[in-house]
């Protein structure tokens, strides 16, 4: 195989393997440099078809070095030496506040702690009540505390450390002193505008479901409803997915077509829309992956280059791992990429298998995707959360008709709101029924007996039944194959 014939995704895969390897062992800079030199010298003696493999090895070593450097940076903390002390601090709120029964927890970045100037990320604990807005710069007298250790199966200290957070700041009161600017300020304004226009006039769980589907923010939903979404296998609907990005890009292209604009201008508009949407919803693994893929599709069209879906998927992983190699251990990353790989590999085969059954094309697609993603993500769900939804396929088949309508109406409301608020409110009212339908699907399916397995004994029983059914289906398939 010639150099040019090599699929481009093998090079991205090499970098991703190196970045992931940093979670296993850190690479000293001198060792990484030595290995790169050795690989470069060895490649000069290889024949032309073998040189791409040497390049992949060299990229893997570079990825290992970069991942190690990033992890060393994430593991450093200036404020850890101040645990137990109190000082007046100036902080920038970097995310949405999350409320529990006893307190409000806010992700933030420390600008100043006493006389110390730093840019370290922290978690701020505040009393219940008024919460600081995302992007707000606040001032408060804070006390530095260590994160909580393992409790009820969740290790907060490890979870926060993987996001570069090593201390928790406790404050009894705060005051707003400004707003951040730059790219972060733009993201705040985009999120605020989108949050205020996707569901005007709606309240309660209908608004909460729309915000969950469009923005990935489900905290306004009740604990019981969130549990029903988990038990039914529909919880992934409350996280931003590639479907959202596709609709955003498709909406920009459709608008350009309606206005009679050339296709290249529509693709530039799609790029801008994708970038704005990713900024608004934040750096969630699923949306970053989908955003990178969508942007590369538009760039490939503009450059008249062939699109490689594996290359685009791996580049999304590369972006996430290059910024934070600990992302590999994040359940959202694992679930998102496991589902995408399942769609690429298993869905075409399942669709061919379902061709002999009396299922409409759209329903067969939903069944194939739900089955493939359910099987691929099941081990991750069990290892990460020790629970497994069993009715994912029927639940997603029931919910599938409402999802495109909910997303389309939410974005239509956001588009119309600046021009005609009453029309946006009417669209949102209609969209509320889509949200109510999703809530009903989650409650009905998630409330059925045996909808979710959360014990080892139950898992063993499910695996035994699955093995028996698989063996029976395999024997039926072998008996149906014509002998030659």
Q: What angle in degrees, to the nearest 10, is found between the helix axes of 29-43 and 51-75? A: 170
Q: Which of 342, 332, 328, 367 is CA-nearest to residue 241? A: 332
The per-residue pLDDT for range 205-221, each reduced to its tens digit, is 999 999 988 888 888 88
**pLDDT for residue 5:** 53
* Separation between Cα atoms, residue 192 and residue 96, nearest integer Å: 11
Query: Cα-Cα-Cα-Cα dihedral of 105, 108, 113, 116, to 10°?
Result: 150
**Is the same domain home to 313 and 444?**
yes
Residue 76: pLDDT band by 50, 70, 90 thresholds?
A: very high
Average pLDDT over residues 380-392: 86
**Is the same domain home to 357 and 468?**
no
* Separation between Cα atoms, residue 436 and residue 442, nearest integer Å: 10
Within-domain flag for 187: no
Range(s) of the domain holding residue 164: 79-180
Considering the chain, what is the average pLDDT of its residues?
Answer: 84
Cβ atoms of 277 and 243 closer than 8 Å: no
Q: Which of 75, 106, 127 is the last residue of a domain?
A: 75
**pLDDT for residue 138:** 93
Please state which of the ranges 88-92, 280-284, 384-388, 437-441 shows the lowest mean pLDDT. 280-284
Within-domain flag for 365: yes
Average pLDDT over residues 151-164: 86
Q: Please determine, for residue 112, whether its predicted confidence score (pLDDT) is greater than 70.
A: yes
Q: Please determine, for residue 332, whether its predicted confidence score (pLDDT) is greater than 90.
A: no
Average pLDDT over residues 229-243: 84
**pLDDT for residue 482:** 58
**Is the same domain home to 210 and 103?**
no
Q: Please determine, for residue 144, whether its predicted confidence score (pLDDT) is greater than 90.
A: yes
* Separation between Cα atoms, residue 432 and residue 438, nearest integer Å: 10
Within-domain flag for 116: yes
Residue 2: pLDDT band by 50, 70, 90 thresholds?
A: very low
Q: Cα–Cα–Cα angle for 196, 200, 203, nearest 5°?
A: 105
**Is the same domain home to 113 and 33?**
no
Task: DSSP for 94-124, please give it.
Answer: -S--EE-SS-EEEEEEEEEETTEE---EEEE
The per-residue pLDDT for range 437-479, each reduced to its tens digit, is 999 999 999 988 888 887 777 778 777 877 777 676 666 656 6
Residue 139's CATH number: 2.40.50
Average pLDDT over residues 139-146: 94
Structure tokens at 316: 């999304």
How many Å is the Cα radius of gyration of the chain? Answer: 25
Within-domain flag for 435: yes
Q: Which of 180, 203, 231 is the last residue of a domain?
A: 180
Average pLDDT over residues 94-103: 84
Residue 39: pLDDT band by 50, 70, 90 thresholds?
A: low
Q: Which of 20, 52, 75 is the last residue of a domain?
A: 75
**Is the same domain home to 464 and 381?**
no
The per-residue pLDDT for range 272-309, each reduced to its tens digit, is 888 888 888 877 777 787 777 777 777 776 665 666 77
CB crowding 452-468: b at 16 or more within 10 Å, else e = bbeeeeebeeeeeeeee
Give how many domains the chain has, as a whole number.
4
Within-domain flag for 3: no
Q: Please determine, for residue 3, whether its predicted confidence score (pLDDT) is greater than 50.
A: no
**pLDDT for residue 315:** 85
* Separation between Cα atoms, residue 220 and residue 236, nearest integer Å: 16
**pLDDT for residue 167:** 94
Average pLDDT over residues 60-75: 91
**Is the same domain home to 423 and 474?**
no
**Is the same domain home to 267 and 390?**
yes
Between 31 and 263, whose confidence is greater? 263
Q: Please determine, for residue 365, whether its predicted confidence score (pLDDT) is greater than 60.
A: yes
**pLDDT for residue 99:** 83
* Cβ contacts of 451 within 8 Å, gap of 6 or more: 231, 232, 389, 390, 391, 445
**Is the same domain home to 359 and 478?**
no
């Amino acid at each position: 195989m010639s150099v040019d014939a090599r699929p481009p995704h093998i090079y991205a895969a090499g970098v991703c393997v190196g970045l992931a390897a940093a979670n296993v062992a850190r690479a000293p800079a001198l060792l990484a440099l030595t290995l790169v030199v050795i690989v470069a010298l060895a490649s000069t003696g290889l024949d032309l078809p073998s040189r791409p493999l040497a390049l992949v090895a060299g990229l893997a070593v570079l990825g290992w070095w970069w991942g190690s450097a990033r992890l060393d940076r994430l593991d450093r903390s200036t404020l850890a030496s101040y645990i137990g002390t109190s000082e007046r601090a100036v902080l920038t709120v970097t995310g949405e506040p999350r409320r529990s029964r006893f307190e409000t927890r806010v992700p933030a970045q420390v600008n100043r702690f006493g006389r110390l100037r730093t840019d370290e990320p922290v978690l701020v604990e505040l009393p219940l009540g008024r919460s600081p807005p995302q992007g707000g710069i606040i001032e408060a007298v804070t006390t530095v505390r260590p994160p909580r250790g393992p409790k009820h199966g969740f290790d907060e200290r490890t979870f926060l450390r993987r996001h570069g957070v090593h201390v928790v700041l406790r404050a009894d009161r705060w005051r707003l002193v400004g707003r951040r600017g730059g790219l972060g300020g733009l993201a705040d304004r985009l999120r605020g505008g989108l949050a205020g226009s996707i569901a005007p006039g709606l309240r309660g769980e209908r608004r909460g479901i729309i915000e969950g589907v469009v923005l990935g923010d489900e905290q306004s939903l009740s604990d019981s409803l969130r549990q029903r979404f988990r038990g039914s296998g529909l919880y992934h609907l409350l996280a931003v997915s590639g479907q959202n990005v596709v609709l955003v890009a498709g909406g920009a292209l459709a608008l350009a077509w309606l206005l009679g604009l050339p296709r290249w201008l529509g693709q530039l508009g799609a790029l801008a829309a994708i970038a704005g949407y990713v900024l608004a919803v934040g750096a969630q693994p699923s949306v970053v992956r989908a955003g990178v893929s969508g942007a590369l599709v538009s760039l490939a069209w503009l450059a008249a280059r062939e699109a490689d879906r594996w290359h685009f998927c791996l580049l999304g992983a590369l972006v996430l791992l290059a910024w934070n190699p600990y992302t590999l251990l994040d359940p959202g990353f694992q679930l998102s990429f496991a589902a995408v790989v399942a769609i690429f590999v298993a869905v075409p085969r399942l669709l061919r298998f379902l061709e002999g059954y009396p299922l409409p094309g759209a329903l067969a697609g939903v069944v194939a995707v739900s089955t493939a993603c359910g099987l691929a993500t099941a081990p991750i769900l069990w290892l990460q959360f020790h629970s497994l939804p069993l009715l994912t396929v029927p639940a997603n088949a029931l919910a599938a008709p409402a999802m495109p309508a909910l997303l389309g109406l939410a974005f239509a409301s956001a588009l119309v709101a600046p021009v005609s608020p009453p029309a946006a409110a009417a669209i949102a009212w209609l969209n509320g029924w889509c949200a109510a339908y999703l809530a009903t699907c989650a409650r009905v399916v998630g409330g059925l007996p045996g909808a979710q397995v959360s014990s080892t004994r139950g898992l063993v029983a499910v695996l035994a039944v699955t093995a028996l059914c698989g063996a029976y289906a395999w024997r039926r398939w072998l008996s149906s194959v014509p002998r030659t």
